[in-house]
Amino acid sequence: MNIVTLRIKVPQDQRSNFLEAARRVIGPTAVQPGCISCRFYQDVNDPDAVYLVEEWESRKELDHHLNSQEYRIVLSLLDMSAQPPEFKLSTISKTEGLEALEAARAAANTALAERRMKK
């Protein structure tokens, strides 16, 4: 799986234009072959920071998307950024669910119980 994270600083006076353009990207991107998800998020600690997070099944499908008409809209959004945008591409080899959380918590609880027994 490939995850693209794009961070864009959008000044308040351009926010509505930015969001309107962003909404035009999400639907067409989400139905492209290989797209697992496509979402925009706002940073709660920095209201001007907006993140585009896309998950793709393969690099080939992602590369096709990066050359698509929809991505041209994303590239045009970069012009609205008050600072240089941050682009990050991560390749994920393994994904786990709640069982990973449960296993980690169980291991921590076991270690804590063992330390208490030694006292």
pLDDT at 56 exceeding the cut of 90: yes
- What pLDDT was estimated at residue 54? 96
- What pLDDT was estimated at residue 85? 94
C-alpha span between 39 and 32 (Å, rounded)? 14
- What pLDDT was estimated at residue 116? 78
In this prediction, residue 30 has a pLDDT band, given cuts at 50, 70 and 90, of very high
In this prediction, residue 69 has a pLDDT band, given cuts at 50, 70 and 90, of confident
Sheet of 2-9: strand order equals 35-42, 49-56, 2-9, 86-91
CATH annotation of 2-94: 3.30.70.100
The DSSP H or E segment spanning 9 is strand 2-9
